[in-house]
Structure 1
Protein backbone atom coordinates (compact mmCIF):
# COMPACT_ATOMS: atom_id res chain seq x y z
CA UNK A 1 0.00 0.00 0.00
CA UNK A 2 1.31 3.39 -0.92
CA UNK A 3 0.49 6.71 0.65
CA UNK A 4 0.45 10.06 -1.12
CA UNK A 5 2.70 12.73 0.30
CA UNK A 6 1.30 15.51 -1.87
CA UNK A 7 -0.89 17.17 0.78
CA UNK A 8 1.76 17.41 3.53
CA UNK A 9 4.26 18.69 0.98
CA UNK A 10 1.86 21.41 -0.16
CA UNK A 11 1.13 22.38 3.45
CA UNK A 12 4.82 22.69 4.19
CA UNK A 13 5.27 24.87 1.13
CA UNK A 14 2.43 27.19 2.21
CA UNK A 15 3.94 27.59 5.69
CA UNK A 16 7.36 28.22 4.18
CA UNK A 17 5.92 30.84 1.83
CA UNK A 18 4.20 32.77 4.61
CA UNK A 19 7.38 32.74 6.68
CA UNK A 20 9.20 34.34 3.77
CA UNK A 21 9.04 38.19 4.02
CA UNK A 22 9.31 38.34 0.22
CA UNK A 23 6.22 36.19 -0.34
CA UNK A 24 3.29 37.85 -2.15
CA UNK A 25 0.02 36.00 -2.67
CA UNK A 26 -2.14 36.20 -5.79
CA UNK A 27 -4.46 38.61 -4.00
CA UNK A 28 -1.73 41.13 -3.18
CA UNK A 29 -1.72 44.07 -5.56
CA UNK A 30 -1.05 47.80 -5.58
CA UNK A 31 -4.68 48.83 -6.14
CA UNK A 32 -6.13 48.06 -2.72
CA UNK A 33 -5.53 48.86 0.93
CA UNK A 34 -4.80 46.15 3.47
CA UNK A 35 -6.85 47.96 6.14
CA UNK A 36 -10.31 49.51 6.31
CA UNK A 37 -9.11 52.61 8.12
CA UNK A 38 -8.23 55.89 6.44
CA UNK A 39 -5.60 58.24 7.82
CA UNK A 40 -6.89 61.83 7.84
CA UNK A 41 -4.08 63.60 9.68
CA UNK A 42 -5.80 63.55 13.07
CA UNK A 43 -6.00 59.84 13.84
CA UNK A 44 -2.35 58.78 13.68
CA UNK A 45 -2.45 56.73 16.90
CA UNK A 46 -5.22 54.40 15.73
CA UNK A 47 -4.02 54.29 12.13
CA UNK A 48 -0.48 53.43 13.23
CA UNK A 49 -1.80 50.55 15.31
CA UNK A 50 -4.01 49.14 12.53
CA UNK A 51 -1.20 49.40 9.94
CA UNK A 52 1.29 47.57 12.15
CA UNK A 53 -1.15 44.75 12.93
CA UNK A 54 -1.87 44.25 9.22
CA UNK A 55 1.82 44.23 8.26
CA UNK A 56 2.74 41.83 11.06
CA UNK A 57 0.04 39.46 9.80
CA UNK A 58 1.67 39.58 6.34
CA UNK A 59 5.23 39.34 7.68
CA UNK A 60 6.05 42.74 6.14
CA UNK A 61 6.74 44.89 9.22
CA UNK A 62 10.48 44.80 8.49
CA UNK A 63 9.95 47.08 5.49
CA UNK A 64 8.20 49.64 7.67
CA UNK A 65 10.61 49.80 10.62
CA UNK A 66 13.76 49.33 8.55
CA UNK A 67 14.85 46.05 10.12
CA UNK A 68 14.74 44.28 6.74
CA UNK A 69 17.63 46.03 5.04
CA UNK A 70 17.83 46.60 1.31
CA UNK A 71 20.16 43.98 -0.29
CA UNK A 72 23.05 44.91 -2.55
CA UNK A 73 22.12 45.38 -6.24
CA UNK A 74 23.99 42.21 -7.19
CA UNK A 75 22.14 40.13 -4.58
CA UNK A 76 19.60 37.53 -5.71
CA UNK A 77 17.12 39.07 -3.23
CA UNK A 78 17.44 42.62 -4.53
CA UNK A 79 14.48 42.45 -6.93
CA UNK A 80 12.36 40.59 -4.39
CA UNK A 81 13.02 43.26 -1.76
CA UNK A 82 12.37 46.08 -4.21
CA UNK A 83 9.07 44.58 -5.37
CA UNK A 84 7.81 43.97 -1.81
CA UNK A 85 8.96 47.37 -0.58
CA UNK A 86 7.00 49.18 -3.27
CA UNK A 87 3.98 46.95 -2.61
CA UNK A 88 3.97 47.97 1.07
CA UNK A 89 4.31 51.65 0.09
CA UNK A 90 1.26 51.33 -2.16
CA UNK A 91 -0.73 49.74 0.67
CA UNK A 92 0.13 52.64 2.96
CA UNK A 93 -0.72 55.19 0.27
CA UNK A 94 -4.12 53.61 -0.31
CA UNK A 95 -4.96 53.91 3.39
CA UNK A 96 -4.41 57.70 3.43
CA UNK A 97 -6.47 60.63 2.23
CA UNK A 98 -5.34 61.84 -1.20
CA UNK A 99 -4.39 65.30 0.05
CA UNK A 100 -2.03 63.74 2.60
CA UNK A 101 -0.43 61.01 0.51
CA UNK A 102 0.59 63.51 -2.17
CA UNK A 103 3.18 64.86 0.28
CA UNK A 104 5.02 61.52 0.35
CA UNK A 105 4.89 60.36 -3.28
CA UNK A 106 8.63 60.75 -3.87
CA UNK A 107 9.83 58.63 -0.95
CA UNK A 108 12.44 56.09 -2.08
CA UNK A 109 11.41 53.32 0.29
CA UNK A 110 8.73 52.30 2.75
CA UNK A 111 11.06 53.14 5.63
CA UNK A 112 11.63 56.67 4.33
CA UNK A 113 7.92 57.04 3.63
CA UNK A 114 7.03 55.99 7.17
CA UNK A 115 9.76 58.09 8.78
CA UNK A 116 8.43 61.25 7.12
CA UNK A 117 4.85 60.44 8.16
CA UNK A 118 5.92 59.93 11.77
CA UNK A 119 7.94 63.17 11.76
CA UNK A 120 4.89 65.14 10.66
CA UNK A 121 2.10 63.42 12.57
CA UNK A 122 3.59 61.16 15.21
CA UNK A 123 5.24 63.66 17.58
CA UNK A 124 2.21 65.57 18.85
CA UNK A 125 2.10 63.65 22.13
CA UNK A 126 1.77 66.57 24.55
CA UNK A 127 -1.44 68.11 23.11
CA UNK A 128 -2.96 64.65 22.69
CA UNK A 129 -1.95 63.62 26.20
CA UNK A 130 -3.57 66.77 27.56
CA UNK A 131 -6.75 66.01 25.65
CA UNK A 132 -6.88 62.42 26.85
CA UNK A 133 -6.05 63.27 30.46
CA UNK A 134 -8.97 65.71 30.37
CA UNK A 135 -11.28 62.99 29.03
CA UNK A 136 -10.32 60.78 31.97
CA UNK A 137 -12.30 63.16 34.21
CA UNK A 138 -15.51 62.30 32.38
CA UNK A 139 -18.56 61.11 34.31
CA UNK A 140 -21.21 58.54 33.43
CA UNK A 141 -24.12 60.97 33.04
CA UNK A 142 -26.87 59.45 30.89
CA UNK A 143 -24.59 56.75 29.47
CA UNK A 144 -25.00 53.08 30.32
CA UNK A 145 -22.25 51.39 32.33
CA UNK A 146 -20.99 49.70 29.15
CA UNK A 147 -20.88 52.96 27.16
CA UNK A 148 -19.12 54.79 29.98
CA UNK A 149 -16.55 52.03 30.48
CA UNK A 150 -15.85 51.71 26.74
CA UNK A 151 -15.15 55.44 26.53
CA UNK A 152 -12.68 55.28 29.42
CA UNK A 153 -11.06 52.09 28.09
CA UNK A 154 -10.33 53.74 24.75
CA UNK A 155 -8.74 56.72 26.50
CA UNK A 156 -6.55 54.41 28.61
CA UNK A 157 -5.39 52.48 25.56
CA UNK A 158 -4.49 55.62 23.61
CA UNK A 159 -2.62 57.10 26.58
CA UNK A 160 -0.65 53.86 26.83
CA UNK A 161 0.43 54.30 23.21
CA UNK A 162 1.32 57.96 23.75
CA UNK A 163 2.93 57.66 27.16
CA UNK A 164 3.37 53.99 27.98
CA UNK A 165 5.96 52.44 30.25
CA UNK A 166 9.49 52.92 28.86
CA UNK A 167 11.33 49.82 27.72
CA UNK A 168 14.34 48.63 29.69
CA UNK A 169 17.41 48.57 27.42
CA UNK A 170 19.97 47.40 29.98
CA UNK A 171 18.29 44.14 30.93
CA UNK A 172 17.81 45.08 34.59
CA UNK A 173 14.07 44.35 34.56
CA UNK A 174 14.70 40.80 33.40
CA UNK A 175 17.01 40.25 36.38
CA UNK A 176 14.77 42.05 38.90
CA UNK A 177 13.82 39.87 41.89
CA UNK A 178 11.49 42.31 43.68
CA UNK A 179 8.68 42.24 41.08
CA UNK A 180 9.02 45.96 40.43
CA UNK A 181 7.29 45.83 37.05
CA UNK A 182 4.42 43.80 38.51
CA UNK A 183 3.90 46.36 41.27
CA UNK A 184 3.94 49.21 38.75
CA UNK A 185 1.26 47.48 36.68
CA UNK A 186 -0.82 46.78 39.79
CA UNK A 187 -0.63 50.45 40.83
CA UNK A 188 -1.76 51.46 37.33
CA UNK A 189 -4.68 49.04 37.61
CA UNK A 190 -5.73 50.57 40.95
CA UNK A 191 -5.69 54.07 39.47
CA UNK A 192 -7.90 52.91 36.60
CA UNK A 193 -10.33 51.32 39.05
CA UNK A 194 -10.57 54.55 41.05
CA UNK A 195 -11.09 56.62 37.90
CA UNK A 196 -13.78 54.24 36.70
CA UNK A 197 -15.89 54.12 39.86
CA UNK A 198 -15.45 57.79 40.76
CA UNK A 199 -17.26 58.86 37.60
CA UNK A 200 -20.28 56.61 38.15
CA UNK A 201 -23.68 58.06 39.01
CA UNK A 202 -24.98 58.27 42.59
CA UNK A 203 -27.17 55.22 41.96
CA UNK A 204 -24.04 53.09 42.38
CA UNK A 205 -22.70 54.70 45.59
CA UNK A 206 -23.19 51.54 47.67
CA UNK A 207 -21.59 49.35 45.01
CA UNK A 208 -18.67 51.78 44.66
CA UNK A 209 -18.10 51.66 48.42
CA UNK A 210 -18.14 47.86 48.41
CA UNK A 211 -15.74 47.64 45.45
CA UNK A 212 -13.18 50.05 46.92
CA UNK A 213 -13.32 48.39 50.36
CA UNK A 214 -12.71 44.89 48.98
CA UNK A 215 -9.48 43.13 49.88
CA UNK A 216 -7.95 42.41 47.48
CA UNK A 217 -9.30 45.05 45.15
CA UNK A 218 -11.06 43.73 42.04
CA UNK A 219 -9.61 44.36 38.60
CA UNK A 220 -11.22 47.01 36.42
CA UNK A 221 -12.74 44.32 34.20
CA UNK A 222 -14.23 42.49 37.19
CA UNK A 223 -15.63 45.75 38.59
CA UNK A 224 -17.22 46.42 35.21
CA UNK A 225 -18.84 42.97 35.28
CA UNK A 226 -20.28 43.57 38.78
CA UNK A 227 -21.62 47.00 37.85
CA UNK A 228 -23.35 45.62 34.77
CA UNK A 229 -25.17 43.12 36.99
CA UNK A 230 -26.20 45.89 39.39
CA UNK A 231 -27.41 47.97 36.44
CA UNK A 232 -29.63 45.11 35.22
CA UNK A 233 -31.02 44.59 38.73
CA UNK A 234 -31.84 48.30 39.02
CA UNK A 235 -33.65 48.25 35.68
CA UNK A 236 -35.67 45.20 36.72
CA UNK A 237 -36.58 46.87 40.02
CA UNK A 238 -37.89 49.92 38.15
CA UNK A 239 -40.06 47.69 35.97
CA UNK A 240 -41.46 45.91 39.03
CA UNK A 241 -42.25 49.23 40.76
CA UNK A 242 -44.12 50.53 37.73
CA UNK A 243 -46.05 47.29 37.38
CA UNK A 244 -46.99 47.38 41.07
CA UNK A 245 -48.16 50.99 40.84
CA UNK A 246 -50.44 50.15 37.94
CA UNK A 247 -51.96 47.14 39.72
CA UNK A 248 -52.65 49.26 42.79
CA UNK A 249 -54.34 51.91 40.66
CA UNK A 250 -56.66 49.40 39.04
CA UNK A 251 -57.94 48.24 42.44
CA UNK A 252 -58.26 51.69 44.09
CA UNK A 253 -61.52 53.68 44.16
CA UNK A 254 -62.24 57.18 45.34
CA UNK A 255 -64.51 57.83 48.28
CA UNK A 256 -67.34 58.58 45.86
CA UNK A 257 -66.92 55.19 44.20
CA UNK A 258 -65.55 56.56 40.91
CA UNK A 259 -62.17 55.66 39.52
CA UNK A 260 -59.59 58.45 39.10
CA UNK A 261 -59.49 59.61 35.50
CA UNK A 262 -55.70 59.92 35.30
CA UNK A 263 -52.60 59.09 37.30
CA UNK A 264 -48.86 59.74 37.30
CA UNK A 265 -46.65 56.89 36.10
CA UNK A 266 -43.19 56.18 37.44
CA UNK A 267 -41.72 58.46 34.78
CA UNK A 268 -43.94 61.39 35.78
CA UNK A 269 -46.13 61.21 32.68
CA UNK A 270 -49.95 61.37 32.93
CA UNK A 271 -51.89 58.32 31.73
CA UNK A 272 -55.65 58.23 31.07
CA UNK A 273 -57.60 55.54 32.90
CA UNK A 274 -58.88 54.19 29.60
CA UNK A 275 -55.27 53.47 28.60
CA UNK A 276 -54.82 51.51 31.82
CA UNK A 277 -57.97 49.53 31.14
CA UNK A 278 -56.69 48.60 27.70
CA UNK A 279 -53.25 47.68 29.05
CA UNK A 280 -54.52 45.40 31.82
CA UNK A 281 -55.82 42.81 29.38
CA UNK A 282 -52.40 42.48 27.78
CA UNK A 283 -50.95 40.80 30.88
CA UNK A 284 -51.81 37.55 32.67
CA UNK A 285 -50.47 36.36 36.04
CA UNK A 286 -48.83 32.93 35.82
CA UNK A 287 -49.68 32.31 39.49
CA UNK A 288 -53.40 33.14 39.82
CA UNK A 289 -54.12 33.02 36.05
CA UNK A 290 -55.98 36.34 36.16
CA UNK A 291 -55.56 39.19 33.74
CA UNK A 292 -54.38 42.69 34.55
CA UNK A 293 -51.11 42.00 36.33
CA UNK A 294 -48.06 39.72 36.44
CA UNK A 295 -46.51 37.52 39.15
CA UNK A 296 -44.15 40.24 40.39
CA UNK A 297 -47.15 42.33 41.55
CA UNK A 298 -49.66 39.60 42.42
CA UNK A 299 -51.11 40.30 45.89
CA UNK A 300 -51.29 36.56 46.60
CA UNK A 301 -47.50 36.44 46.32
CA UNK A 302 -46.27 39.87 47.44
CA UNK A 303 -48.94 40.44 50.12
CA UNK A 304 -52.03 42.63 50.39
CA UNK A 305 -51.51 46.39 50.92
CA UNK A 306 -53.15 48.27 53.80
CA UNK A 307 -55.62 50.06 51.55
CA UNK A 308 -57.01 46.71 50.39
CA UNK A 309 -58.30 45.74 53.87
CA UNK A 310 -59.69 49.23 54.50
CA UNK A 311 -61.61 49.42 51.26
CA UNK A 312 -62.76 45.84 51.56
CA UNK A 313 -64.36 46.57 54.93
CA UNK A 314 -65.95 49.76 53.62
CA UNK A 315 -67.66 48.29 50.59
CA UNK A 316 -66.93 44.58 50.42
CA UNK A 317 -69.37 43.37 47.70
CA UNK A 318 -68.49 46.08 45.17
CA UNK A 319 -64.76 45.89 45.85
CA UNK A 320 -64.67 42.14 45.52
CA UNK A 321 -66.41 42.35 42.20
CA UNK A 322 -64.01 45.04 40.99
CA UNK A 323 -60.90 43.17 42.12
CA UNK A 324 -62.13 39.96 40.55
CA UNK A 325 -62.76 41.81 37.27
CA UNK A 326 -59.41 43.58 37.27
CA UNK A 327 -57.45 40.45 38.11
CA UNK A 328 -55.41 41.94 40.97
CA UNK A 329 -55.72 38.84 43.16
Structure 2
Protein backbone atom coordinates (compact mmCIF):
# COMPACT_ATOMS: atom_id res chain seq x y z
CA UNK A 1 0.00 0.00 0.00
CA UNK A 2 1.44 3.33 -1.09
CA UNK A 3 2.17 5.95 1.58
CA UNK A 4 0.03 9.05 1.65
CA UNK A 5 1.69 12.08 0.02
CA UNK A 6 2.91 14.77 2.47
CA UNK A 7 0.46 17.60 2.99
CA UNK A 8 0.90 20.65 0.82
CA UNK A 9 2.62 23.61 2.53
CA UNK A 10 -0.24 25.82 1.41
CA UNK A 11 -2.62 23.83 3.60
CA UNK A 12 -0.45 24.11 6.71
CA UNK A 13 -1.39 27.18 8.78
CA UNK A 14 2.19 27.43 10.10
CA UNK A 15 3.68 27.59 6.61
CA UNK A 16 4.49 30.96 4.95
CA UNK A 17 2.74 29.60 1.86
CA UNK A 18 -0.56 29.31 3.70
CA UNK A 19 -3.24 31.87 2.87
CA UNK A 20 -6.22 32.39 5.13
CA UNK A 21 -9.64 32.63 3.45
CA UNK A 22 -9.81 36.26 4.62
CA UNK A 23 -6.59 37.12 2.75
CA UNK A 24 -7.40 38.83 -0.52
CA UNK A 25 -5.67 41.31 -2.86
CA UNK A 26 -7.84 44.20 -1.65
CA UNK A 27 -6.63 44.11 1.96
CA UNK A 28 -5.01 47.33 3.25
CA UNK A 29 -2.55 46.35 5.96
CA UNK A 30 -1.71 49.83 7.33
CA UNK A 31 -3.75 52.99 7.72
CA UNK A 32 -0.99 55.41 6.69
CA UNK A 33 0.12 55.23 3.06
CA UNK A 34 3.74 55.67 2.01
CA UNK A 35 4.35 59.12 0.53
CA UNK A 36 8.16 59.09 0.72
CA UNK A 37 9.03 61.25 3.70
CA UNK A 38 7.31 58.86 6.11
CA UNK A 39 9.19 55.78 4.93
CA UNK A 40 10.60 54.69 8.29
CA UNK A 41 7.32 54.75 10.16
CA UNK A 42 5.57 53.13 7.19
CA UNK A 43 8.27 50.45 6.94
CA UNK A 44 7.93 49.56 10.61
CA UNK A 45 4.14 49.32 10.35
CA UNK A 46 4.31 47.22 7.20
CA UNK A 47 6.97 44.92 8.65
CA UNK A 48 4.76 44.14 11.63
CA UNK A 49 1.66 43.66 9.46
CA UNK A 50 3.39 41.37 6.95
CA UNK A 51 5.06 39.44 9.76
CA UNK A 52 1.64 38.90 11.36
CA UNK A 53 0.55 37.39 8.05
CA UNK A 54 3.65 35.13 8.16
CA UNK A 55 4.82 36.54 4.81
CA UNK A 56 7.91 38.47 5.88
CA UNK A 57 10.16 36.08 3.94
CA UNK A 58 8.65 37.28 0.66
CA UNK A 59 9.89 40.85 1.21
CA UNK A 60 13.20 40.31 3.04
CA UNK A 61 14.48 37.77 0.50
CA UNK A 62 14.61 34.70 2.75
CA UNK A 63 11.97 32.96 0.64
CA UNK A 64 13.43 32.85 -2.85
CA UNK A 65 11.64 32.21 -6.09
CA UNK A 66 11.66 28.47 -6.86
CA UNK A 67 12.14 27.04 -10.31
CA UNK A 68 9.07 27.04 -12.47
CA UNK A 69 9.12 23.22 -12.44
CA UNK A 70 9.29 22.98 -8.63
CA UNK A 71 6.28 21.78 -6.69
CA UNK A 72 6.23 24.97 -4.62
CA UNK A 73 6.27 27.33 -7.59
CA UNK A 74 2.48 27.65 -7.78
CA UNK A 75 2.15 28.34 -4.05
CA UNK A 76 5.06 30.82 -4.15
CA UNK A 77 3.55 32.66 -7.11
CA UNK A 78 0.18 32.86 -5.40
CA UNK A 79 1.64 34.27 -2.17
CA UNK A 80 4.08 36.58 -3.95
CA UNK A 81 1.30 38.21 -5.95
CA UNK A 82 -0.81 38.53 -2.81
CA UNK A 83 2.01 40.37 -0.99
CA UNK A 84 2.58 42.61 -4.03
CA UNK A 85 -1.10 43.59 -3.89
CA UNK A 86 -0.79 44.43 -0.20
CA UNK A 87 2.25 46.59 -0.89
CA UNK A 88 0.54 48.45 -3.74
CA UNK A 89 -2.48 49.10 -1.52
CA UNK A 90 -0.22 50.60 1.14
CA UNK A 91 1.64 53.20 -0.94
CA UNK A 92 0.50 56.38 -2.65
CA UNK A 93 -0.83 56.06 -6.23
CA UNK A 94 2.16 57.98 -7.61
CA UNK A 95 4.68 55.61 -6.03
CA UNK A 96 2.55 52.56 -6.85
CA UNK A 97 2.66 53.46 -10.54
CA UNK A 98 6.47 53.32 -10.47
CA UNK A 99 6.58 49.71 -9.18
CA UNK A 100 3.46 48.33 -10.78
CA UNK A 101 5.36 46.10 -13.24
CA UNK A 102 7.94 44.74 -10.79
CA UNK A 103 7.42 40.98 -10.59
CA UNK A 104 8.46 40.09 -7.02
CA UNK A 105 7.55 41.52 -3.63
CA UNK A 106 11.22 41.42 -2.64
CA UNK A 107 12.21 43.67 -5.55
CA UNK A 108 9.46 46.18 -4.69
CA UNK A 109 10.50 46.21 -1.03
CA UNK A 110 14.17 46.72 -1.95
CA UNK A 111 13.35 49.46 -4.47
CA UNK A 112 11.31 51.43 -1.92
CA UNK A 113 14.05 51.06 0.69
CA UNK A 114 16.77 52.29 -1.67
CA UNK A 115 14.70 55.28 -2.75
CA UNK A 116 13.27 56.54 0.52
CA UNK A 117 15.53 55.39 3.38
CA UNK A 118 18.56 57.48 2.42
CA UNK A 119 17.40 60.85 3.77
CA UNK A 120 18.36 60.11 7.35
CA UNK A 121 20.35 63.27 8.07
CA UNK A 122 17.60 65.87 7.55
CA UNK A 123 15.02 63.66 9.25
CA UNK A 124 17.19 63.12 12.33
CA UNK A 125 17.91 66.86 12.49
CA UNK A 126 14.21 67.74 12.32
CA UNK A 127 13.21 65.18 14.96
CA UNK A 128 15.93 66.27 17.39
CA UNK A 129 14.99 69.90 16.81
CA UNK A 130 11.37 69.08 17.64
CA UNK A 131 12.44 67.26 20.80
CA UNK A 132 14.60 70.15 22.00
CA UNK A 133 11.88 72.75 21.38
CA UNK A 134 8.96 70.76 22.80
CA UNK A 135 7.65 71.95 26.17
CA UNK A 136 4.50 71.24 28.15
CA UNK A 137 2.87 74.65 27.77
CA UNK A 138 -0.89 74.24 27.85
CA UNK A 139 -0.70 70.44 27.50
CA UNK A 140 -1.44 68.02 30.28
CA UNK A 141 1.48 65.97 31.58
CA UNK A 142 0.10 62.89 29.83
CA UNK A 143 -0.33 64.64 26.46
CA UNK A 144 3.13 66.22 26.70
CA UNK A 145 4.79 62.87 27.53
CA UNK A 146 2.91 61.12 24.71
CA UNK A 147 4.15 63.63 22.13
CA UNK A 148 7.69 63.37 23.42
CA UNK A 149 7.63 59.58 23.38
CA UNK A 150 6.37 59.56 19.77
CA UNK A 151 9.37 61.69 18.78
CA UNK A 152 11.73 59.37 20.67
CA UNK A 153 10.30 56.32 18.91
CA UNK A 154 10.54 58.06 15.55
CA UNK A 155 14.18 58.94 16.22
CA UNK A 156 14.88 55.34 17.22
CA UNK A 157 13.82 54.22 13.73
CA UNK A 158 16.59 56.38 12.24
CA UNK A 159 19.17 55.76 14.97
CA UNK A 160 18.55 52.25 16.34
CA UNK A 161 20.50 51.15 19.39
CA UNK A 162 23.10 48.59 18.25
CA UNK A 163 22.56 45.04 19.45
CA UNK A 164 25.41 43.07 20.95
CA UNK A 165 26.04 40.46 23.62
CA UNK A 166 28.52 42.54 25.64
CA UNK A 167 27.72 44.83 28.56
CA UNK A 168 28.21 47.99 26.50
CA UNK A 169 24.65 47.89 25.13
CA UNK A 170 23.28 47.90 28.70
CA UNK A 171 25.34 50.98 29.51
CA UNK A 172 24.19 52.64 26.30
CA UNK A 173 20.52 51.93 27.04
CA UNK A 174 21.00 53.42 30.52
CA UNK A 175 22.48 56.58 28.99
CA UNK A 176 19.57 56.88 26.53
CA UNK A 177 17.05 56.50 29.36
CA UNK A 178 18.79 59.14 31.46
CA UNK A 179 18.86 61.56 28.53
CA UNK A 180 15.14 61.08 27.95
CA UNK A 181 14.36 61.68 31.63
CA UNK A 182 16.24 64.98 31.53
CA UNK A 183 14.49 66.03 28.31
CA UNK A 184 11.10 65.25 29.85
CA UNK A 185 11.85 67.15 33.07
CA UNK A 186 13.28 70.18 31.26
CA UNK A 187 10.10 70.64 29.23
CA UNK A 188 7.76 70.65 32.23
CA UNK A 189 6.14 73.87 33.37
CA UNK A 190 7.72 75.74 36.28
CA UNK A 191 4.81 74.72 38.52
CA UNK A 192 6.52 71.30 38.67
CA UNK A 193 9.86 72.75 39.80
CA UNK A 194 9.60 71.18 43.25
CA UNK A 195 8.76 67.70 41.91
CA UNK A 196 11.51 68.02 39.32
CA UNK A 197 14.09 68.91 41.97
CA UNK A 198 13.07 65.95 44.13
CA UNK A 199 13.41 63.52 41.20
CA UNK A 200 16.83 64.88 40.21
CA UNK A 201 18.07 64.32 43.76
CA UNK A 202 17.27 60.60 43.56
CA UNK A 203 20.30 58.36 43.19
CA UNK A 204 20.08 56.52 40.91
CA UNK A 205 17.39 58.12 38.79
CA UNK A 206 14.24 55.97 38.60
CA UNK A 207 13.15 54.51 35.23
CA UNK A 208 11.48 56.82 32.73
CA UNK A 209 7.98 55.43 33.25
CA UNK A 210 8.38 55.81 37.02
CA UNK A 211 9.43 59.46 36.57
CA UNK A 212 6.35 60.06 34.44
CA UNK A 213 4.16 58.44 37.10
CA UNK A 214 5.65 60.62 39.86
CA UNK A 215 5.06 63.81 37.89
CA UNK A 216 1.56 62.70 36.93
CA UNK A 217 0.66 62.30 40.61
CA UNK A 218 1.69 65.91 41.21
CA UNK A 219 -0.47 67.35 38.44
CA UNK A 220 -3.78 67.68 40.41
CA UNK A 221 -1.95 69.80 43.00
CA UNK A 222 -0.52 72.19 40.43
CA UNK A 223 -3.74 73.82 39.23
CA UNK A 224 -2.53 77.33 39.90
CA UNK A 225 -4.46 80.27 38.52
CA UNK A 226 -2.40 82.31 36.10
CA UNK A 227 -3.83 85.80 35.37
CA UNK A 228 -4.55 86.36 31.71
CA UNK A 229 -2.20 88.68 29.86
CA UNK A 230 -3.23 92.29 29.38
CA UNK A 231 -5.02 93.03 26.17
CA UNK A 232 -3.98 95.94 24.00
CA UNK A 233 -6.86 98.02 25.35
CA UNK A 234 -5.94 97.29 28.96
CA UNK A 235 -2.30 98.04 28.30
CA UNK A 236 -3.24 101.36 26.68
CA UNK A 237 -5.33 102.39 29.67
CA UNK A 238 -2.57 101.40 32.09
CA UNK A 239 0.02 103.33 30.13
CA UNK A 240 -2.29 106.33 29.82
CA UNK A 241 -2.81 106.39 33.59
CA UNK A 242 0.91 106.29 34.23
CA UNK A 243 1.58 109.12 31.78
CA UNK A 244 -1.36 111.31 32.78
CA UNK A 245 -0.07 114.65 34.21
CA UNK A 246 -0.94 115.43 37.81
CA UNK A 247 -3.11 118.52 38.20
CA UNK A 248 -1.51 121.24 40.28
CA UNK A 249 -3.17 124.35 41.65
CA UNK A 250 -1.43 127.63 42.24
CA UNK A 251 -0.79 128.40 45.85
CA UNK A 252 -2.76 131.39 47.12
CA UNK A 253 -0.94 134.05 49.03
CA UNK A 254 -2.14 134.57 52.58
CA UNK A 255 -4.15 137.83 52.84
CA UNK A 256 -2.75 140.81 54.74
CA UNK A 257 -5.00 143.05 56.77
CA UNK A 258 -4.96 146.55 55.37
CA UNK A 259 -5.81 148.03 58.76
CA UNK A 260 -3.17 146.46 61.02
CA UNK A 261 -0.85 144.65 58.55
CA UNK A 262 -1.41 141.20 60.08
CA UNK A 263 -1.41 138.08 57.89
CA UNK A 264 -4.71 136.19 57.80
CA UNK A 265 -5.88 132.71 56.70
CA UNK A 266 -5.95 131.83 53.02
CA UNK A 267 -9.31 132.44 51.47
CA UNK A 268 -10.12 135.42 53.65
CA UNK A 269 -10.03 138.59 51.61
CA UNK A 270 -11.28 141.27 53.95
CA UNK A 271 -10.28 144.79 54.70
CA UNK A 272 -10.72 144.16 58.44
CA UNK A 273 -9.42 141.33 60.58
CA UNK A 274 -11.84 138.72 61.72
CA UNK A 275 -13.40 139.28 65.10
Structure 1 unmatched runs, 5+? 1-12, 168-172, 239-265, 270-329
CA distance in 2, matches of 1:228, 1:84: 48
Query: CA deviation digits over 1:20-79, x for unaligned, max 9?
Result: 100011111112212222222221121111111111111100001111111122210011
1:166 Cα deviation after fit: 2.9
1:268 Cα deviation after fit: 5.3
CA distance in 1, matches of 2:29, 2:176: 34
Give the 5 Å matches for 1:190-269: 190-235=178-223, 238=224
2:151 aligned with 1:155, yes or no?
A: yes
1:267 Cα deviation after fit: 6.4
- Residue 22 of structure 1 contacts residue 81 of structure 1 at CA under 8 Å; is this kept in 2? yes
- Residue 30 of structure 2 contacts residue 49 of structure 2 at CA under 8 Å; is this kept in 1? yes
Aligned length: 218
1:228 Cα deviation after fit: 1.0
The structure that has the greater radius of gyration is: 2
1:151 Cα deviation after fit: 1.2
Cα-Cα RMSD? 1.8
Q: TM-score with structure 1 length normalisation?
A: 0.63
Q: TM-score with structure 2 length normalisation?
A: 0.75
Aligned to 2:271: none
Aligned to 2:256: none
Where is the helix percentage greater, Structure 1 or Structure 2? 1
Larger relative contact order (CA 8 Å, sep ≥ 6): 2
Aligned to 1:95: 90
- Residue 28 of structure 2 contacts residue 86 of structure 2 at CA under 8 Å; is this kept in 1? yes
Query: CA deviation digits over 1:298-329, x for unaligned, max 9?
Result: xxxxxxxxxxxxxxxxxxxxxxxxxxxxxxxx
Structure 2 unmatched runs, 5+? 1-7, 229-275
2:17 aligned with 1:27, yes or no?
A: no
- Residue 18 of structure 1 contacts residue 58 of structure 1 at CA under 8 Å; is this kept in 2? no
